[in-house]
Structure 1
């Protein structure tokens, strides 16, 4: 992403520290921790399912980038069909979040639509921009029970033509927070008091991605009221961005929401690096 936005806000080290811990766990082959980004206001779904604690100690010198493989240019998709196939291998299902999480209805976004944040700070959708080969958002939730509300989760994978294009996606995500700290997702949903930050690979324990963007604020929805925690984690590897959004609800702690968001983001980044990274050795 562009360095101009990268220096604007750098305040999300705690969440990224958690991602780094997950990345470390995945180095043995287990688990690792989109213009505008899809999304805080993901395209209207179609199909069959819906929709920064204290900083940790710095990583030892020379280890912050060890978990990010080199990009293998020969593996990169050249067509939309190839990109959609790769997304199918990168994106996660509800099993990654635990037994309480189920598909929403509808389950997946329209693959031909792209979210855009208007001048009025309201999200709308348009056709795919020229720099996007393919994108998919999936929608999950935890059904309300025992006094808890409906916790919502969105996961998104986007494949661009190049690393430069995916970097610009991250830059635009940062610009959107600076321009619109209060945003309307849909007619009955809002996020307020947003703030965000970017960490490049090697900064503040970001050893898990080339660029990591984190957005945080308060979610207010017609169904469950609020405000509750809203969190969006996005990461880049080569031409790919992966992202997870969590919309809080009654009865869920901020820590619980952060945990499931990090689980999804780290697993998809692991999949992306396996898909397009050079083999070790």
Structure 2
């Protein structure tokens, strides 16, 4: 719209006699053009010479945003399932990386060689690894009920692909799943409701920590009943690796505290991925 207005204004100036008619344009080209219908014709006012207005000050230069994403060393990318498993062992985290009150859950780790899939009915299933996944691991943690709050659940996931194109597609599919299924069934008695997702590529909206970031929020309905609680998912990508942390809140537990734990776990894993696969500085 702004471009059309500008082009129209330049055309009007040319019609009124070129650049010298600039001031007259504001008055509707009163010296030689037509007035609006119903307005009485009147002579153009005298224009006295005036000093030119001072040029606007140039905006102060802003410091470039420091990128926390190193250059990927493609020679370090795993090429086999065995190499991916070795890398995976360097990226997964333990309970103490999430917080002092976090402990392991039972079962603790997902079965090797299995992969979660959201089916056509918006129900989560597990299947064998697809061709683009070399290795993946999901770990289950929780904060026991106590101090006036219920049991808080936290899951961490690390997935290793052949390259960043494949990991990028995983992030894209995560967004597609939210759009397709804003309500999802995790297992019998557990559901996610009213999910909303947001994907932020490197350099967008202050993302200077990963090549691509994705997060979703919604509500978690557990088998124990009660009011729905906040659900969070934070995912980040570097090269062939995606890392993610999910949090399911409980009554009496601060949402801000859960967000801190989820972000802290995500930050730890993506930092380890960059350390393992990034080119050394200098």
* Count of residue pairs the alignment pairs up: 221
Residues in 2 aligned to 1:62 and 1:119: alpha-carbon distance in whole angstroms:
45
Note the 1:18-37 alignment, pairs <5 A. none
* Inter-partner Cα distance in structure 2 for 1:259 and 1:70: 28
| Deviation readout 1:111-168 (Å, 9 max, x if unpaired) | 1111111111110111000000000010000011133101000000000011100000
Q: What is the SS of the residue equivalent to 1:156?
A: strand
Structure 1 position 130 matched with structure 2 position 161: no
**In the alignment, does 2:188 pair up with 1:167?**
no
SS in 1 for 2:228: strand
Provide TM-score, normalisation by structure 2: 0.77
54, 62, 65: which is aligned to 1:63? 65
Match of 2:210 in 1: 209
In the alignment, the residues of structure 2 paired with residue 153 and residue 226 of structure 1 have an alpha-carbon distance, to the nearest angstrom, of: 19
Q: Match for residue 245 of structure 1? A: 246
Tell me, what secondary structure is at the counterpart of 2:146? coil
Give distance in 1, aligned partners of 2:193 and 2:63: 38
Deviations 1:148-193 (A, max 9, x none): 1010000000000111000000000000000000000111110100
Which has the greater radius of gyration?
2
Deviation at 1:61, TM superposition (A): 5.0
The reply on whether 1:118 has 2:119 as its aligned counterpart is: yes
Aligned pairs for 1:34-45 within 5 A: none
Partner Cα distance (1:254, 1:115) in 2: 26
Per-residue CA shift, 1:192-242, capped at 9, x if unaligned?
000000000011110000000000000010136331110000000000000
Aligned-pair distance for 1:76?
A: 0.9
Q: Which residue of 2 aligns with 1:269?
A: 270
Give TM-score, length-normalised by structure 1: 0.77
Alignment of 1:227 with 2:231, yes or no, is no
What RMSD over aligned residues (CA atoms) do the two structures have, in Å?
Answer: 1.0
**1:86 and 2:87 correspond:** yes
The corresponding residue for 1:140 is: 141
Partner Cα separation in structure 2 for residue 163 and residue 96 of structure 1: 26
- Shift >4 Å, 4+ stretches: none
Q: Distance in 2 between matches of 1:204 and 1:280?
A: 26
Structure 2: distance between partners of 1:147 and 1:203: 39
Measured after TM superposition, the shift of residue 253 of structure 1 is 1.6
